[in-house]
């Protein structure tokens, strides 16, 4: 294959999705994901089960994505794999598999930061990036405002001081007894609810772009403790919508304020919570008023996927940033921030 359009296999096993994808240059050729349903019965991801599921699913998922892209082993120019952050055991399954392939095929290994994958998932298929921009990264583990000056040149503007936005969705869903994962379920339930039904608190910090969601979570808990089961049941949609609105308003308000203060006119949404329909709607509304260009990832690439890993692999390959075969899994891998 031509070196302008390297064929890259991307592998993602950081949590409870076993996923693989193929890009040729920036272009996505195929992507396949298998979600682990085994965790549903436990109301959250069970790390040991996740590792076992990855072991079982990874080889067939890779075969499947390769056949969908009509790619054989000899066509692959590099292997990109999530190095972190994520569950240690889960990361190791993908990383060991990718290292084995790199040795067997004698091709470079590209260790990918999952967070960077989420940010650039917006541009899958594109050969250029609209930097600089402000990124609102909202996932199960992260809530951050990041000034993206260029690829690998980031500045942290604000972040949550306690729970991540996605974590708040998951915890409140558990309080409401509606199941796991909470984000999509609350989103769906809220469509039929009144977001002004309960005035839950919006926390703000003066002179900071930081977030906090633990007070909101406690407010929901106290509110539920005061109501009868019958009342909660008949107003489940309204309570869910009111909680969701409180999260979404704070995120959007902070993000737009930071963008304006930094003189940035592009806002990029990233991470699982970027799939939230109320968030997407409010961001679109505010963008029109503020004359801001907004990028929202395609719904398929908001939550964990390998398309974003393969695409990041393309960028790393382009700047010849290959990894040693000895790289470890980094469960707490962070983005590195400059000033």
Q: Is 129 exposed, middle or buried (0-12, 13-18, 19+ CB in 10 A)?
A: middle
Contact status: 166 vs ligand KG4 (CB under 6 A)? yes
Nearest to 327 by CA among 151, 113, 104: 113
Adjacent-strand bridge partners of 295: 268
Nearer to ligand KG4, 107 or 280 (CB): 280
User: How many Å apart are CA 170 and CA 184, to the nearest integer?
Assistant: 9
Nearest to 10 by CA among 318, 279, 251, 305: 305
| Interaction residues for ligand KG4, span 34-63 (CB under 6 A) | none
Nearer to ligand KG4, 136 or 275 (CB): 275
Q: How far is the CB of 160 from ligand KG4 (least distance, A)?
A: 13
Identify the residue among 304, 309, 312, 333 touching ligand KG4 (CB under 6 A).
304
Q: How far is the CB of 136 from ligand KG4 (least distance, A)?
A: 13
Torsions phi, psi for 237 (to 5 deg):
-65, -40
Cα torsion 96, 101, 16, 55 to 10°: value is: -70
Q: How far is the CB of 238 from Zn ion (least distance, A)?
A: 30
Contact status: 140 vs ligand KG4 (CB under 6 A)? yes
Q: Are 90 and 13 in contact (CB under 8 A)?
A: yes
Identify the residue among 30, 139, 212, 323 touching ligand KG4 (CB under 6 A).
139
Q: How far is the CB of 85 from ligand KG4 (least distance, A)?
A: 8
Q: How far is the CB of 149 from ligand KG4 (least distance, A)?
A: 23
Contact status: 303 vs ligand KG4 (CB under 6 A)? yes
Torsions phi, psi for 15 (to 5 deg):
-140, -110
Identify the residue among 273, 306, 309, 312 touching ligand KG4 (CB under 6 A).
273
Catalog residues that contact Zn ion under the rule CB under 5 A. 139, 304
The neighbour count for residue 150, using CB atoms within 10 Å, is 9
Q: How far is the CB of 339 from Zn ion (least distance, A)?
A: 26
Q: How far is CA 71 from CA 66, 84, 178, 190, in A?
A: 5, 27, 42, 42
| Interaction residues for ligand KG4, span 167-196 (CB under 6 A) | 169-170, 181-184, 187
55 is written with which tokens? 């072991």
Q: How far is the CB of 90 from Zn ion (least distance, A)?
A: 12
How many residues form the binding site for ligand KG4 (CB under 6 A)?
20
Q: Which does 166 bind (CB under 5 to 8 A by kind): ligand KG4, Zn ion, none?
A: ligand KG4
Stretch that binds ligand KG4, among 63-71, 261-269, 273-281, 329-337 (CB under 6 A): 273-281
Q: How far is the CB of 169 from ligand KG4 (least distance, A)?
A: 4
Nearest to 110 by CA among 284, 309, 255, 260: 309
1 is written with which tokens? 């294959």
Nearer to Zn ion, 47 or 215 (CB): 47
Identify the residue among 25, 94, 271, 313 touching ligand KG4 (CB under 6 A).
271
Q: How far is CA 337 from CA 3, 146, 324, in A?
A: 31, 9, 23
Q: Are 173 and 217 in contact (CB under 8 A)?
A: no
Nearer to ligand KG4, 89 or 272 (CB): 272
Residues in touch with ligand KG4 (CB under 6 A)? 15, 118, 139-141, 166, 169-170, 181-184, 187, 271-273, 275-276, 303-304
């Amino acid at each position: 294959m031509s070196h302008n359009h390297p064929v890259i296999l991307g592998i993602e096993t950081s949590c409870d999705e076993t996923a693989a994808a193929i890009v040729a240059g920036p272009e996505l050729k195929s992507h396949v994901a298998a979600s682990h349903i085994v965790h549903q019965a436990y109301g959250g991801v069970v790390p040991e089960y996740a590792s076992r599921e990855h072991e079982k699913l990874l080889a067939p998922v890779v075969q499947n994505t390769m056949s969908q892209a009509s790619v054989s082993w000899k066509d692959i120019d590099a292997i990109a794999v999530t190095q972190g952050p994520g569950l240690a055991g889960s990361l190791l399954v993908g990383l060991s598999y990718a290292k084995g392939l790199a040795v067997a095929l004698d091709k470079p290994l590209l260790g990918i930061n999952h967070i960077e994958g989420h940010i650039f998932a917006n541009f899958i298929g594109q050969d250029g990036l609209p930097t600089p921009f402000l990124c609102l990264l909202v996932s199960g583990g992260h809530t951050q405002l990041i000034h993206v000056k260029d690829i690998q040149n980031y500045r942290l503007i604000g972040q949550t001081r306690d729970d991540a936005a996605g974590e708040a969705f998951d915890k409140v869903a558990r309080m409401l007894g509606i199941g796991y994962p909470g984000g999509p379920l609350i989103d769906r339930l809220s469509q039929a609810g009144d977001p002004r039904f309960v005035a839950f608190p919006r926390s703000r910090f003066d002179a900071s772009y930081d977030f906090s969601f633990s007070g909101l979570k406690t407010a929901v808990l106290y509110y539920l403790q005061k109501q009868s089961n019958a009342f909660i049941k008949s107003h489940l949609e309204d309570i869910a919508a009111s909680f969701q609105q409180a999260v979404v308003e704070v995120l959007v308000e902070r993000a737009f304020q930071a963008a304006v203060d930094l003189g940035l006119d592009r806002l990029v949404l990233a991470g699982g919570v970027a799939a939230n329909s109320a968030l997407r709607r409010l961001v679109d509304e505010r963008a029109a008023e503020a004359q801001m260009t907004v990028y929202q990832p395609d719904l398929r690439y908001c939550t964990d996927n390998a398309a974003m890993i393969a695409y990041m692999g393309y960028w790393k390959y382009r700047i010849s940033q290959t990894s040693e075969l000895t790289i470890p899994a980094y469960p707490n891998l962070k983005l590195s921030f400059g000033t």
